[in-house]
Amino acid sequence: MIISRPTLEVVYQYSKMGSIPKFVNLYRLYAAFSCFTLQLLPIFLESCPNLKHLILDYTVVSAQPEEIELSYVPRCLTSSLERVDINKLIMKEETGIKLVNYFLENSAVLKELTVSFTDSPVSNQERDIYKNLLTSNKLSRRCQVSIC
C-alpha cells in the first residue's frame, strides 16, 4: 500500500472521530510523513497489526518543526515489523533523529533499519558518528543499521 501525506491528514481527522479500520492483510507500507503529521504514525501503525516492512519518506516542512512525542508503541513494533526504511532525513534535524530512535528503541523483532539522507555527500566520519549514536539504545540486538 502507498499512502500520501494528504491522505494521512484525512486519516488523522477520521481518527479523532473514532478508531481507524484494521488492515490485517497489509504487510508492506510506503508512506509519506512530514514533521507535522508524524504524531499520526503510531496511531496509523496500530491499524496495521501484521506489518513487516515500512518505507517512510520524511519531509521537513519548515525550519522550525513542532516538538513531537512518539511514546505510544503499536503492536506491529513488538510483534511483526522486521524492516524499516526512512528516506530523506536531514543529518542534524532533531525530529528525524527522534523518528529513527523511536523504531530502534521500540521494535522488538526489527532486523534491518536503513536511513538515507538528503544531505549529500555524507562523510564516512559523519556516518560512523551517526550510526554509533543511533545503535546505542536498540531493542532488537539482531537489527542491522545501514546509513546511506
- Residue 86 vs residue 123, higher pLDDT: 86
The tally of domains found in the chain comes to: 1
Instruction: Report pTM.
Output: 0.85
Give the list of residues 6+ apart from residue 138 with CB closer than 8 angstroms, or none: 104, 105, 110, 145
Domain that holds residue 126: 2-147
Dihedral sign, Cα of residue 9, residue 61, residue 35, residue 83 = positive
Residue 47 has a CB neighbour count (10 Å cut-off) of 19
Model confidence pLDDT, tens digit, residues 104-113:
999 999 999 9
What contacts 24+ positions apart, CB below 8 Å, involve 124-133? 126/91, 130/91, 133/97
